[in-house]
Amino acid sequence: MIRALVRELRPWQWAKNAFVLAGVVFAHELGESGQVLRALAAAGAFCLLASAGYVFNDLLDIEKDRLHPRKRHRPLAAGALSPATGWVLVVLLAAGGFAASLALGRELALLAVCYVLLNILYSVVLKRIVLLDVMGIAIGFVLRAVAGVEALDPRPELSPWLLVCTFFLALFIAVGKRRHERMTLADEAMQHRSTLAEYSPALLDQLVPVVTSATVLAYAIYTISPGTAGQVPQGRMVVTIPFVVYGIFRYLYLVYRRGHGGAPSELLFKDGPLLANIALWGLAIVGLLYWP
């Protein structure tokens, strides 16, 4: 039972909440222990809220998940957990996440409510509407990034580039995931998710280069924007562009050549080159922002 509960919470997916920590890093607050603790607490709150969303979505999709080659092993779909237990989990996780957010401030609590409502809207409506489903996922990541800024006290200025880069990166990953699902499920795609019938391989192969270009271009502009120049002089931030380009290229390679992409969070920990690249990018960012 305990193992099934842990699997249903999907803690490996909590890596997505690293976006909550972006605010404290780019606001030059890593040296302030109080600010770091607030950012970590906000990330923890969103981990609880994210797990509540996963369980809620699984409860609605039990029958469809049983048709999926991977998702049929999830505890609810496999029968390891009862639906009643799932609903109890949803309530407890959502209440815990909201309480932790409220303890950090009203603004963060409001963002938590928006995040929960977005998850509900996605599970009930958005995931059944082509294109809006992937955009809903991307907006969820943007809310995480905003939450990381709102959790700080005093709150730093929110950079629009943080939101733009987060949105396009999340959209890029979401489109890659749709392509993997479409290619893996083939003719059974519609039985699992109705929108997959609308995502033809040709359409997805057109969307991928669009979001790829937008992601790279948004990050490149960020590195030379006036706000970034005020933090890192002489345009030094441009040296991090190769890390971003390689990371995106590596992900595309794994999606197109290795058939991965269905579980981006798991892929992050399983692919050594991708993990090493992200680690090096993080070190470069911290070095440029905090060392003269």
DSSP label at residue 139:
H
- How far apart, in whole angstroms, are the C-alpha atoms of residue 45 and residue 112? 8
* pTM exceeding the 0.85 threshold for the entire prediction: yes
Q: For the chain, give the percent of residues with pLDDT over 70.
A: 95
Which CB contacts under 8 angstroms, 24+ apart, belong to 32-39?
34/153, 35/152, 35/153, 38/104, 38/151, 38/152, 38/153, 39/148, 39/151, 39/152
pLDDT digits (tens, 9 = 90+) for 6-19: 999 999 889 999 99
- How far apart, in whole angstroms, are the C-alpha atoms of residue 49 and residue 43? 10
Name which CATH class applies to 1-158: mainly alpha
Q: Helix H segments across the chain?
A: 2-9, 22-26, 33-60, 62-65, 75-78, 83-103, 106-124, 132-150, 160-185, 189-192, 201-224, 226-231, 241-256, 264-270, 272-290
Is-contact 39 14, C-beta < 8 A?
no
Instruction: Give, rounded to a whole angstrom, the gap between the first and last alpha carbons of the chain.
Output: 52
Q: In degrees, to the nearest 5, what angle opens at C-alpha 20 toward C-alphas 164 and 241?
A: 45
Average pLDDT, the chain: 89
The pLDDT, as a whole number, for residue 190 is: 60
Q: What is the residue whose two structure tokens read 């039985």?
A: 191
- How far apart, in whole angstroms, are the C-alpha atoms of residue 76 and residue 7? 10
pLDDT digits (tens, 9 = 90+) for 182-224: 877 666 656 666 778 788 888 998 999 999 999 999 999 999 8
39 or 289: which leads in pLDDT: 39
| Exposed / middle / buried, residue 76 (Cβ in 10 Å: 0-12, 13-18, 19+) | buried
**Hey, where are the domains in the chain?**
1-158, 160-292
pLDDT digits (tens, 9 = 90+) for 234-243: 678 899 999 9
How large is the average pLDDT for residues 158-162? 87
Distance from chain centroid for Cα 116: 14
pLDDT digits (tens, 9 = 90+) for 51-66: 999 999 999 988 888 8
pLDDT digits (tens, 9 = 90+) for 70-98: 788 889 988 889 999 999 999 999 999 99
